[in-house]
Structure 1
Amino acid sequence: MDRFGLFGKLMAKEGHGEQLAAILLEASHAMKEVTGCELYVVSAAENEPDAVMVYEVWINQEAHQASLKLEATQNLIKQAKPIIAGMERISTLKPIGGKGL
């Protein structure tokens, strides 16, 4: 079974970076209950106050897709949508191991 990783960048509307980060941190706490999620890390970009980076590792791509249908995930998406100016999937990855995995 191949792990599935995502590295993404979400841009908040001007002045809403901290609010978006808080919503994504809430998502990270919800992922603790999701069996297929191995890692969900939220980071602020030092040089872009309205950018939030997310690094995720899943047991497989199907587990990630299933998580998007969860009620908790859908509620967080609804909260975040009004303040999101853009999203970029920087890379999909095939995590092979390391500290934390």
Structure 2
Amino acid sequence: MFGYIGSMKAKPGHRDEVVAILLSGVDGLRKVGCELYVVGVSAADDVTIWVSEVWQTREAHDASLQLPETRAAIGTAMPLLTGEFTSQETVVVGGLGVGQESRSDPNGVAPSV
């Protein structure tokens, strides 16, 4: 499984609007291979937004960025953002809610107990 964790900063006064845009397209994500999509906001400031995603494959994630609804949402959100982004790609090895409740190594091999 492919994981992605990213942050973005909204222009002052626009964080809630960006969050609404990010959440507007969640219904179709599972159909294209998304296992988990979480949008959160910083408790320390009023501009930072965090997005955590788990996808069946990296290719599914990449393909989702080409969907018309995703491209429209990005186009709507971009003017409301400062341009400050962070991102981290991960290999998901397990966890609650991602269909792999037991731990495993990045190659999908469960550890022996």
Report the TM-score when normalising by structure 2.
Answer: 0.80
Distance 1:66 1:83 in 2: 24
Tell me the CA shift for residue 84 of structure 1.
Answer: 1.0
For residue 5 of structure 2, what is the aligned residue in structure 1? Answer: 7
Distance 1:30 1:80 in 2: 18
What is the correspondence of 1:18-97 to structure 2 with a 5 Å cutoff? 18-32=16-30, 34-85=31-82, 86-89=84-87, 91-97=88-94
CA RMSD of aligned residues (A): 1.2
Report the structure, 1 or 2, having the larger helix content: 1
The one-letter code matched in structure 1 to 2:47 is D
Offset of residue 41 of structure 1: 0.3
Tell me how far 1:7 sits from its aligned partner: 0.6
Larger radius of gyration: 2
Q: Secondary structure at the match of 2:4?
A: strand
**Sequence identity, in percent?**
37
In the TM superposition, structure 1's runs of 4+ consecutive aligned residues that sit over 2 Å from their partners are 27-30
Structure 1 unaligned segments of length 5 or more: list them.
Answer: none
Question: In structure 2, what is the Cα distance between the partners aligned to 1:47 and 1:60?
Answer: 32
Give CA-to-partner distance per residue, 1:43-62, whole Å, 9 cap, x none. 01111211110000001111
If asked which structure has higher relative contact order (CA below 8 Å, sep 6+), I would say 1
